[in-house]
């Protein structure tokens, strides 16, 4: 599959400069354009380009003022800005860099210099995104990790309080997973974790629902705007799918595993806490284990 192109927003009040840069960079990147500072800010918010190429000398709002507004606008404040300008004194470059521009390209444009400087910045951006992705996802199962889940739960919790809507949590644990590792080895255990993880993602139909690896053989599912009945239906479906799924073993024969699930559903208020919300789901998980495993447990 072809990699997705990165994107650039070129901001210059001279159309000829926009055409030159588009000719230089258009084959490698998606190009958006703007001819003044306010248009640049609005297009940056709409398109979220990877890099903004920003002219300094523009009427009404020059590049310096435009960059100040960009840095004060949360949704676009982290987009790297490269100044493109005919100003080539050391003082001009120092001023641009002091405002947190990441680079400075002078006119007239050198095709080689422009391409290399944009390429270098894009490499940095893509590397940082890869690092960020690795810090938010479990590398074995490809599910969001606990840090990622905690951030999302905080957002959904506050929204549920504001809108007085139900929020549900499924805390899940693979039954007797230690025995799988002890008997068949950790490689087989990894296969089991990957297999059941795919079941969770297939069971969730709404984009707002989120399954994550909670730690070890524990997983967690967040379902905003979902009452208890809906959470129970999803949990039972997951429990049954896990039980029915045949998993290939390294030594040839196949195996089955089961899962225990604890549910907590609540319409939260400011008197409730996230810790207690999770703790109640954990209690229900232990109740499912105590009832013989391969069970779904919830408060009546």
Count of residues for the chain? 300
Residue position matching structure tokens 């290399």: 116
Residue 5 three-state SS = coil
Report the pLDDT value the prediction gives residue 89, as an integer from 0 to 100: 67
CB 12 within 8 A of CB 18: yes
CB 148 within 8 A of CB 212: yes
CATH fold of 7-135 reads Rossmann fold (3.40.50)
CB 257 within 8 A of CB 230: no
Q: Measure Cα distances from 231 to 15, 24, 171, 297 in Å.
A: 56, 53, 11, 11
The DSSP symbol for 107 reads: S
Q: Which of 42, 65, 132, 217 is catalytic?
A: 217
Report the pLDDT value the prediction gives residue 1, as an integer from 0 to 100: 40
Distance, in Å, from the CA atom of 52 to the CA atom of 81, rounded to the nearest integer, reads 5
Residue 60, sorted as left (phi over 0), alpha (psi -120 to 50) or beta, turns out to be: left
Distance, in Å, from the CA atom of 75 to the CA atom of 60, rounded to the nearest integer, reads 23
Which residue ranges of the chain lie beneath pLDDT 50? 1-2
Comparing CA positions, the residue from 73, 72, 55 lying closest to residue 64 is 55
Longest dimension (CA), the chain: 76
Distance, in Å, from the CA atom of 167 to the CA atom of 198, rounded to the nearest integer, reads 23
Would residue 217 show up in a list of annotated catalytic residues for this protein?
yes
The domain ranges of the chain are 7-135, 146-297
Distance, in Å, from the CA atom of 280 to the CA atom of 265, rounded to the nearest integer, reads 9
Report the pLDDT value the prediction gives residue 82, as an integer from 0 to 100: 94
Q: Please determine whether the domains at 7-135 and 146-297 fall in the same fold group of CATH.
A: no
Spell out the CATH class of 146-297: alpha beta
Report the pLDDT value the prediction gives residue 59, as an integer from 0 to 100: 87
Asked whether the whole model's pTM tops 0.85, one would answer no
């Amino acid at each position: 599959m072809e990699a997705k192109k990165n994107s650039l927003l070129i901001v210059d009040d001279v159309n000829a400069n926009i055409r030159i840069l588009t000719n230089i960079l258009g084959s490698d990147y998606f190009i958006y354009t703007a001819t003044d500072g306010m248009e640049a800010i609005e297009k940056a918010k709409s398109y979220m380009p990877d890099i903004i190429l920003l002219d300094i000398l523009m009427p009404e709002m020059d590049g310096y003022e435009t960059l100040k507004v960009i840095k004060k606008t949360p949704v676009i404040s982290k987009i790297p800005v490269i100044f493109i300008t005919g100003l080539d004194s050391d003082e001009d470059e120092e001023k641009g860099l002091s405002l947190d521009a990441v680079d400075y390209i002078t006119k007239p444009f050198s095709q080689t210099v422009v391409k290399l400087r944009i390429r270098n910045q894009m490499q940095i951006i893509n590397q940082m995104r890869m690092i960020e992705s690795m810090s938010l996802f479990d590398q074995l199962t490809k599910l969001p990790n606990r840090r990622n889940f905690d951030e999302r739960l905080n957002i959904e919790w506050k929204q549920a309080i504001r809108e007085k809507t139900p929020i549900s949590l499924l805390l899940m644990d693979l039954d007797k997973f230690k025995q799988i590792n002890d008997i068949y080895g950790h490689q087989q255990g990894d296969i089991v974790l990957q297999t059941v993880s795919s079941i969770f993602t297939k069971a969730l139909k709404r984009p707002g629902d989120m399954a994550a690896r909670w730690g070890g053989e524990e997983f967690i599912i967040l379902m905003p705007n979902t009452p208890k009945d809906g959470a129970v239906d999803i949990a039972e479906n997951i429990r049954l799918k896990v039980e029915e799924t045949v998993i290939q073993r390294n030594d040839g024969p196949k195996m089955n595993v089961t899962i225990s699930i604890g549910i907590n559903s609540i319409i939260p208020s400011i008197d409730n806490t996230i810790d207690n919300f999770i703790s109640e789901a954990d209690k229900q998980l232990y109740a499912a284990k105590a009832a013989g495993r391969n069970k779904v447990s919830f408060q009546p």
